[in-house]
């Protein structure tokens, strides 16, 4: 019994010695998320427009039903999303939309500081998603 007591005490004492803390002092130091991290979405642009062809696959697959797409045709006769909006308050960051996209027009970034002050600020429209 006493041996175990001593063992326990020695472990905690070892941790007390400098260099054992694993805390990251968040706003001062940040961890880099892994490459597979699923953060804020981004619409991938090409030279003059977004890659998205408004195929409606992502709003269909989205389990949270938080993507709104409205397709339209531009002067070259190509389909493009007139409206593309993701409601991040409902998004569960599952990444299905990215997987579903046939033209790899959507990706997820490492951006995770998504707090905001107003509900409207969580609706990410095409302009914000293209950034």
Interface residues toward other proteins, by CB under 8 A:
5, 8-9, 11-13, 15-16, 20-23, 25
Q: Which of 99, 100, 104 is closest to 52 using CA atoms? A: 104
CB of 118 to ligand SF4, least distance (A): 20
CB of 54 to ligand SF4, least distance (A): 5
Q: Are 36 and 107 in contact (CB under 8 A)?
A: no
CB nearer other proteins, residue 19 or residue 77: 19
CA angle 68, 73, 79 (to 5 degrees): 65
CB of 22 to ligand SF4, least distance (A): 30
CB of 48 to ligand SF4, least distance (A): 16
CB nearer ligand SF4, residue 56 or residue 122: 56
Is residue 40 near ligand SF4 by the rule CB under 6 A?
no
The strand pairing partners of 45, in sequence order, are 50
CB nearer ligand SF4, residue 9 or residue 94: 94
SS3 percent helix, strand, coil of the chain, rounded to 5, is 25, 20, 55
The strand pairing partners of 72, in sequence order, are 80
């Amino acid at each position: 019994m006493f041996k175990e007591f001593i063992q326990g005490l020695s472990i905690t004492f070892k941790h007390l010695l400098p260099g054992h803390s694993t805390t990251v002092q968040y706003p001062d130091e940040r961890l880099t998320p892994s490459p597979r991290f699923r953060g804020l979405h981004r619409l991938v642009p090409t030279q003059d427009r977004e890659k998205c062809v408004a195929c409606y696959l992502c709003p269909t697959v989205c389990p949270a039903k938080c993507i709104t797409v409205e397709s339209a045709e531009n002067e070259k006769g190509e389909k493009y999303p007139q409206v593309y909006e993701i409601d991040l308050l409902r998004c569960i960051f599952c990444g299905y939309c990215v997987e579903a996209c046939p033209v790899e027009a959507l990706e997820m970034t490492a951006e995770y500081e998504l707090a905001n002050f107003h509900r409207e600020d969580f609706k990410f429209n095409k302009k914000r998603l293209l950034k």
